[in-house]
Structures are given as C-alpha cells and as structure tokens.
C-alpha cells in the first residue's frame, strides 16, 4: 500500500453518496481505469470508469466500497466476499452497519473501515469520519490507516474517531447538511415574510451562508466568537442574536435534532446485527 493505492477499486452501489465520492476522486486525478462500478440501476458512468451490471467473477480488488442500502448487505456480501484478499480493505458508507458486522461478513479482508462523508465530497469539501479495524479484530495499523487517510483526503477533511461515537458523528456529518439547508431556507423564508421577494431572498440567504462558512473556515476564531464579532452592542445583529439565544432555545432545538438522528442510527445498527 502506498501513494498509488488502490490500483483497483470496486464500488458496489453508486448512488448519491457513492457518486459524490467518485466525483471527488476523479476530480483529484484518480485514474478512472482503476475503478469498477457494480450498479444495475446505473445507466452510464464517468468516462473511463468500468460499469458492470453484476459483481464480476474471479476478480480481485485492493479496495471495495459498499454503497448499497444497509438492508442489502447480506445479499451483496455473498458475491463480494470471494473477491476479498488479505490485502483488500473493505469500506462501507452503510448507515448503522458496525465494524463487527462488516468483519463477520468479510473475514478475509485486511481491514474494514466505516466512512461517514456527505455530498460535499464531490467538491472536496466534506468532513470524512473514519473508524476501522484490522484482520482478526485488531487495530488497522498505522501504515494502512495513513494510506486510507491519503485516499480520503481529496474528498475533504478525514478524521479518525472511536466507533462508539459514530452515531453522533453520522448525525452531525451525514445528516448535518440537511439541517444547514433547513436553516438557510428559514433565513430566506423569514426575509420573504417580512416583504422581500422570495427568489431574491433565496439568493441572498444562500450567498450569506456561503460567505459566512468560507470565512469561518479561514478564521482563527471559533464560530461562537465570530458571531459576537459581527454583533455590535445595541445594534441590529445583537437584537437578532438575543432572539436566537433566548433560553438557549436554538441550542436545545439543534441538540434534540442531532439526538433524534443519532438514536435512529443506533436503532439501525441494532437492526443490522439482528
């Protein structure tokens, strides 16, 4: 395993998330000839990428990414397992499917890795949460972990986490964009209710969110401090923040939102094990 790894990658299922990851890798210069997609629902693939309707027989891959629905895991595992070698890493973006479940279905793999990105992977701006284990249930190993990190870096910001935290990270990273989009929409809706043209409100809210996010990413200050820096005492921003901050209502709402998503992830993990 090294900088040219993987020489061969199989994507089993290439829906929205798998497609976003593929787009990110290709944009970063990965050779499309190294990639094979198995997805009977997919009619076309990016130029140079191999597209198959079913899992190939007697093939071998350095990396295999599982991107199907979690309830399909057992069905596809039967076809994928024979392709797995001791130096193969099996990756999974299946929500709720833990490392133990993956390892039990792919016992010959050199390692199994859970990934939680979001659709921003397509433009190289996704957080990428990672949790893994090596053959026999041990650690993945520093060399393999570094190689996996390098593979994920073109998609955004990879971070290794303890698997016990994966459900909350899934809620934050995987589901988080939807929550952010809701807030952007709420900004536009609020402005429209106050009299601004809705299409114009949409454009201005989106541009505001984009600029604020880019500034926060480049700033040495945390978002909470940036909010206070925008707000002058007695000014318009402070008046609005006083509404958002009242009784910590916004914090409590977001915490309840993340808790609901986290708990559903844990429930899905239990369902996958049973």
d(CA 174, CA 157): 13
Q: Is residue 140 part of a domain?
A: yes
Q: Is residue 229 part of a domain?
A: no
What pLDDT shows up at residue 274?
Answer: 67
Q: Is residue 17 part of a domain?
A: yes
Q: How many CB atoms within 10 Å of residue 76?
A: 18
Cβ–Cβ < 8 Å for 250, 224:
no
Beta strands in 9-161 (DSSP E): 9-12, 35-38, 50-52, 63-66, 89-92, 111-116, 126-134, 156-160
Q: Is residue 187 part of a domain?
A: no
Cβ–Cβ < 8 Å for 25, 159:
no
CB burial of 161-170 (b: ≥16 within 10 Å; e: otherwise) equals eebeebbbbb
Q: Is residue 115 part of a domain?
A: yes
Residue 68's CATH number:
3.40.50.720
Q: Is residue 131 part of a domain?
A: yes
Report the largest interatomic distance among the alpha carbons of the chain, rounded to a whole angstrom. Answer: 71
CB hemisphere CA count around 269 (13 angstroms): 20
- The candidate with the shortest Cα–Cα distance to 90, out of 125, 135, 143, is 135
Q: Is residue 260 part of a domain?
A: no
Q: How confident is the prediction along the chain (274 residues), in pLDDT tens digits per residue?
A: 445 899 999 999 999 999 999 999 999 999 999 999 999 889 999 999 999 988 888 678 999 999 999 889 999 999 999 999 999 999 999 988 999 999 999 999 999 999 999 999 999 999 999 999 998 777 888 899 999 999 999 999 999 999 999 999 999 999 999 999 999 999 999 999 999 999 999 999 999 999 999 999 999 999 999 999 999 999 999 999 999 999 999 999 999 999 999 999 888 877 766 6
Beta strand 126-134 with 35-38: parallel, antiparallel or unpaired?
Answer: unpaired
State how many domains the chain has.
1
Domain that holds residue 63: 9-169
Q: For 221, phi and psi rounded to 5 degrees?
A: -100, 145
What pLDDT shows up at residue 3?
Answer: 54
Find the helix packing angle between 198-218 and 176-193, rounded to 10°: 130
d(CA 208, CA 185): 12
**217 CB-contact burial (10 Å; exposed 0-12 / middle 13-18 / buried 19+):** exposed
Q: Is residue 181 part of a domain?
A: no
């Amino acid at each position: 395993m090294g900088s040219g790894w993987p020489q061969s990658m199989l994507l089993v299922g290439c829906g929205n998330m798998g497609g976003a990851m593929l787009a990110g890798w290709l944009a970063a210069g990965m050779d499309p000839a190294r990639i094979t997609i198995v997805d009977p629902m997919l009619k076309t693939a990016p130029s140079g990428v191999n597209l198959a309707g079913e899992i190939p027989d007697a093939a071998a891959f350095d990396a295999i990414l599982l991107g199907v629905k979690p309830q399909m895991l057992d069905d596809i595992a039967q076809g994928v397992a024979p392709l797995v070698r001791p130096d193969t890493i099996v990756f999974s973006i299946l929500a709720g499917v833990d490392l133990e479940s993956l390892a039990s279905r792919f016992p010959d793999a050199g390692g199994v890795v859970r990934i939680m990105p979001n659709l921003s992977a397509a433009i190289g701006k996704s957080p990428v949460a990672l949790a893994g284990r090596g053959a026999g249930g041990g650690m993945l190993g520093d060399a393999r972990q570094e190689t996996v990190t390098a593979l994920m870096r073109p998609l955004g910001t990879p971070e290794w986490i303890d698997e016990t935290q994966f459900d909350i990270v899934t809620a934050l990273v995987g589901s988080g964009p939807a929550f952010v989009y809701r807030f952007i929409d709420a900004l536009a809706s609020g402005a429209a209710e106050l009299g601004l043209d809705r299409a114009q409100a949409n454009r201005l809210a989106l541009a505001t969110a984009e600029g604020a996010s880019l500034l926060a990413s480049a700033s040495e200050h945390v978002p909470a401090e940036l909010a206070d820096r925008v707000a002058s005492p007695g000014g318009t921003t402070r008046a609005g923040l006083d509404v958002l901050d009242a009784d910590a209502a916004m914090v409590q709402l977001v915490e309840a939102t993340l808790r609901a998503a986290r708990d559903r992830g844990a429930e899905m993990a239990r369902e996958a094990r049973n």
